[in-house]
Amino acid sequence: MTYKSVKGTRDLLPVDTTAWLHVEQLIREVMERFRYGEIRTPVFEETTVFARGIGEETDIVGKEMYSFLDKGGSSLTLRPEMTAPVIRSFIQHNLGEQSGLNKLYYIGPMFRQERPQAGRFRQFHQFGFECIGQDSPFCDAEIIAMAAEIYRRLGIHSTLKINSVGDPFCRPRYREALQSFLRPLLAELSEESRRRTETNPMRVLDSKDPRDRELTANAPVILDYLTDESREHFEQTLALLDDLGISYDIDPRLVRGLDYYTRTAFEFISSDLGSQDALGGGGRYDGLVQELGGKATPAVGFAAGIERLLIVLEKNGYAFPVSEPLVYLIGMDDASRTWAFRTAMTLRRIGVSAEIDYAGRSVKAQMREANKLGSTFVVLVGESEMQAQVAQVKNMRVGTQEGVEFQHLTSYFSRMNHLTDNTESR
- Interface residues with ligand AMP (CB under 6 A) are 81, 112, 114, 119-121, 124, 126, 257, 278-281, 303-305, 307-308
| Beta carbon of residue 332, minimum distance to ligand AMP (angstroms, whole number) | 51
Q: Cβ of 362: how many Cβ atoms within 10 Å?
A: 11
Q: Which is nearer to ligand AMP, 259 or 369 (CB)?
A: 259
| Beta carbon of residue 61, minimum distance to ligand AMP (angstroms, whole number) | 12
CA atoms of 194 and 381, how far apart (whole Å)? 78
Q: Which is nearer to ligand AMP, 112 or 284 (CB)?
A: 112
Q: Which is nearer to ligand AMP, 103 or 256 (CB)?
A: 256
| Beta carbon of residue 124, minimum distance to ligand AMP (angstroms, whole number) | 3
- Collect all residues with Cβ–Cβ distance below 8 Å to 21 and sequence separation of at least 6: none
| Beta carbon of residue 131, minimum distance to ligand AMP (angstroms, whole number) | 17
Handedness of CA 291, 293, 295, 300 (dihedral sign): negative
Handedness of CA 207, 209, 213, 216 (dihedral sign): negative
Q: Which is nearer to ligand AMP, 77 or 366 (CB)?
A: 77
146 neighbors 34 (Cβ within 8 angstroms):
yes
Q: In whole angstroms, how far apart are CA 121 and each of 266, 307, 308? A: 22, 9, 10
Q: Which is nearer to ligand AMP, 302 or 339 (CB)?
A: 302
Q: Which is nearer to ligand AMP, 119 or 137 (CB)?
A: 119
Residue nearest to ligand AMP (CB): 305
Nearest to 356 by CA among 375, 21, 206: 375
Regarding beta strands 377-381 and 326-331, do their DSSP bridges make them parallel or antiparallel, or are they unpaired?
A: parallel
Handedness of CA 29, 34, 39, 45 (dihedral sign): negative
| Beta carbon of residue 148, minimum distance to ligand AMP (angstroms, whole number) | 15
| Beta carbon of residue 246, minimum distance to ligand AMP (angstroms, whole number) | 18
